[in-house]
Amino acid sequence: MADLEFSALVNFYEKIEATSSRLAMTDLLVALFKRTPPEVIDKLVYLTRGTLGPDYAAPELGVAEKLALRAVALALGLGAKEVEAAYKQLGDLGSAAEELMKKRKPASILDFFGGAEAAQSGRPLTVGEVYDALMRIAKAAGPGAQDAKITTLVALLKRAQPKEAKYLLRIVTGKLRLGVADMTILDALAVAFAGSKSARPIIERAYNVHPDLGYIAKVLAEQGLEGVKGIRVTVGVPVKPMLAERLSDPAEILSKLGGACLAEYKYDGERVQAHKKGDEVVLFSRRLENITSHYPDVVEMVREHVRAGEAILEGEIVAINPDTGEMLPFQELMHRRRKYEVEEAMEKYPVSVFLFDLLYVDGESLLDAPLPERRKRLEEVVEEGERFRLARSQIVKSPDELMRFFEEAVAEGCEGVMCKSLERDSIYQMGARGWLWIKFKRDYRYEMTDTVDLVVVGAFYGRGKRAGTYGALLMAAYSPEEDVFKTVCKVGSGFTDEDLAQLPKLLEPYRIDHKHPRVVSRMEADVWFVPAVVLEIIGAEITLSPMHTCALGKLRPDAGLAIRFPRFTGRYRFDKKPEDATTEEELVEMYKRQKKVAVPKAPAGEAA
C-alpha cells in the first residue's frame, strides 16, 4: 500500500510549530496533502489533530506519562531516573527523548544523510504504520494491556529518529498541540484537491453532516469534489448542531423573524442528538461527544417512544425532581458525568427529555425542510410519555404574547425562550449561528434574599417515591385589601421524608372538594384546602409569571408574581394565622428591591 514516511510528517510539524500565520499554515498543509497518498490521508489528518479518529468516535490513546517514560527508558537502554531528569529539565517528555537520543548517537557520517537511525534500526517509519501501532496501543485492554502498550511503544521508539520520537511521544500522551484549526484543514483540503478555496462551502457542508475530517479528506482525495457532494446524513454520525443568535427585545426579535415565530421553552439542561437505528441508540452532546453511557434511561426512552426504524432527533435533557416533576437547575446533571455508578445516579438524579427537532427519519433527510414541516414530523414520530415530550411551544405574533410566554418559561425554571423562524427558508442550518433561531434570555436575574411565609391552599398528588402523599403544594400570599389568598408558587422541594409523611395528616382537617372562595388561582390543584397552614419558603428569585395571581396586572398586564425554584425551609409557622402570611404588597416590594445580578452572556459567534 502506498504510504508516506513519518519523517515527512514530522518535518511538517516542525515547520508548523515555527509559524503563527494561518496563511502559511494553510500553504504548508496544501503541500503536505498533495504529496500524501490517498490511502493514508485520513490517518495523516487524524494524527495532525493529535487523535486517532473523529472526536465523536476516536479511541482514547490514554497513555499515562509514567508509562511513556518507562517506554523511553527501555527503548534507549537508560535508567528511568536519567529520563526523568531530562524530562524535568525540558518540561516535555518528547523533547527529553529527542535530546537523549541525539546524545546517545555520536555524530557519524551517516547523520549527514539523515540515515543514522534508519540504518541502525531497519526501515524508516511510515504514517500508516505509526497510526496502526498507536491504534493497537489505544485498543489494548484487559489484563496485560499495560505491557502490550509498552511493548508496542518501545518498538516504535526503537525505529524512530530523534525528531520522530519527540512527536510520537507528544501524540501518545495527548500533548500534540500544533494549533491547526479544523477550519484551516478544510481550507487546505479545498486548495489541494479542488483547486481553490472557492470549493470550501461544498466541503464545509459535507463536514457539517459528517464531521470527520479524515473521512472528508479521503473522499476528496479519492473521488474529488463530486464524491464529497454525495456525502449524506448518516445515522450514528452526529450532525453539527444549529446554533442561535441572541436578542433581548421581543419586538426586535419578531421583526427579525418576519412578524411571527415559534417560541419554545429554552430548557436549561444538556443538548442531546439522539440517533436511533432499530434498537440501537447513540447519544451525542452539543460538542458531539458520545454521551450514551451517561444516560441509559434516555436510551431506553428513545427506544420506547420513537416510532421509526431510523431517526435523528434533537432535544434537551433536563434534571428533574422525580416526585414532583419540577425542573432542576442544569448543575444537577453533573452527577451523570461520572463513569461509574451510573445506575445509582440514574435513580437519584432522574431526567426528562424535551424534543425540539427532527433531522432525519427512515431514509429521509429533513435538514433542508422548513421548521413547520420538521416540527410536524417530530410530532408524528414521537409518542410522548411522562419523561419524554416535545418542547413546550407556541406560535406568537406580538411582543406582548412573546413576553408572556417568556415569563411563563422563566417562572417554570427555564432560561428563557428560543424564537424560531417559521418562514419557507427555515431549514436546519448545521454548524451555524444564524438568525433563523434567536435565543431570548434575560440580561439580568434577581436574587431572593429573604424568606416568605405562605399559606397552603392546594396540593398536587405525588409520583414515584411520593406516591400516596403530596408531590407539591400550591402556596399563596395574603391580600388584606381583598381579603383573599393569591397563588405565588408550587413547592415540592425542601421536604424531608418526615415532612412528607405527616403533611397529609396535617392538612386533612382543611381538605375540601373545591377551590375555597377566598383563594384566587389560575392553576387547577388536585386537592384544595381551607387556607390555614403557613410554611416558610425561600426561592432563587421572584419573577413575573402569567400562571400566578399574586399582584396580577399590578406590574405588567396579565402577569403576576411567582417564586422561582421555591423550597420549604423546614419551618412550619404554626404561630401564624393565614392572615399573618406575607402579603401581596410585601411581595411586590420584595420584587422591586431584589438585587439585580447580571447573567453572563456568551459572545455571539463563540461556542459556549
Residues with a known catalytic role: 266
430-449: contacts with ligand ATP (CB under 6 A): 439
149: contact with ligand ATP by CB under 6 A: no
For ligand ATP, the nearest residue by Cβ is: 271
Complex with ligand ATP: residue 357 or 536, whichever CB lies closer: 357
Residue 213, all three cell numbers: 475530517
Complex with ligand ATP: residue 315 or 566, whichever CB lies closer: 315
Which of 74-82, 263-271, 380-388, 465-473 is the region at the interface with ligand ATP (rule: CB under 6 A)?
A: 263-271
391: contact with ligand ATP by CB under 6 A: yes
Minimum gap (Å) between residue 561 Cβ and ligand ATP: 25
What is the phi/psi pair of residue 507, to 5°?
A: -90, -15
Q: What is the three-class DSSP state of 374?
A: helix
Q: Which residue among 193, 267, 446, 470 contacts ligand ATP (CB under 6 A)?
A: 267
Complex with ligand ATP: residue 22 or 271, whichever CB lies closer: 271
In angstroms, the Cα distances linking 358 to 196, 236, 312 are: 34, 15, 6
Q: Which residue among 310, 316, 408, 536 contacts ligand ATP (CB under 6 A)?
A: 316
d(CA 215, CA 224): 13
d(CA 608, CA 605): 9
Minimum gap (Å) between residue 405 Cβ and ligand ATP: 12
d(CA 320, CA 328): 5
Which of 161-169, 260-268, 520-528, 568-576 is the region at the interface with ligand ATP (rule: CB under 6 A)?
A: 260-268
Binding pattern for the stretch 336-375 against ligand ATP, x by CB under 6 A and - elsewhere = --------------------x-------------------
Which of 3-11, 218-226, 259-267, 502-510 is the region at the interface with ligand ATP (rule: CB under 6 A)?
A: 259-267
Residue 225 β-bridge partners? none
Nearest by Cα to 329 from 410, 419, 408 = 410
Place of cell 493497537: 136
Minimum gap (Å) between residue 355 Cβ and ligand ATP: 9
268-287: contacts with ligand ATP (CB under 6 A): 271, 286
Minimum gap (Å) between residue 602 Cβ and ligand ATP: 5
**Exposure pattern of 8-40 as b/e (b: 16+ CB <10 Å)?**
ebbebbeebeeeeeeeebbebbbebbeebebbb
Question: Could you tell me how many residues of this chain bind ligand ATP (CB under 6 A)?
Answer: 15
Q: Check: CB of residue 447 under 8 Å from CB of residue 540.
A: yes
Complex with ligand ATP: residue 246 or 573, whichever CB lies closer: 246
Binding pattern for the stretch 282-311 against ligand ATP, x by CB under 6 A and - elsewhere = ----x-------------------------
In angstroms, the Cα distances linking 442 to 69, 228, 415 are: 51, 42, 8
Q: Check: CB of residue 42 under 8 Å from CB of residue 217.
A: yes
243: contact with ligand ATP by CB under 6 A: yes
409-428: contacts with ligand ATP (CB under 6 A): 418
Strands of 391-469, DSSP E: 393-396, 416-420, 433-441, 444-447, 452-461
Binding pattern for the stretch 189-228 against ligand ATP, x by CB under 6 A and - elsewhere = ----------------------------------------
Helix (H) or strand (E) holding 47: helix 38-48
266: contact with ligand ATP by CB under 6 A: yes
Which of 66-74, 205-213, 216-224, 266-274 is the region at the interface with ligand ATP (rule: CB under 6 A)?
A: 266-274
320: contact with ligand ATP by CB under 6 A: no
29: contact with ligand ATP by CB under 6 A: no
453-482: contacts with ligand ATP (CB under 6 A): none
Complex with ligand ATP: residue 244 or 302, whichever CB lies closer: 244
Q: Which residue among 133, 186, 244, 581 contacts ligand ATP (CB under 6 A)?
A: 244
Q: What is the three-class DSSP state of 164?
A: helix
DSSP 291-358: -GGG-HHHHHHHHHHB-SSEEEEEEEEEEB-TTT--B--GGGGGGGG-SS-HHHHHHHS-EEEEEEEE
Q: What is the three-class DSSP state of 393?
A: strand
Q: What is the three-class DSSP state of 268?
A: coil
501: contact with ligand ATP by CB under 6 A: no
Q: Check: CB of residue 124 under 8 Å from CB of residue 7.
A: yes
Residues forming contacts to ligand ATP in the complex (CB under 6 A) are 243-244, 264-267, 271, 286, 316, 356, 391, 418, 439, 602, 608
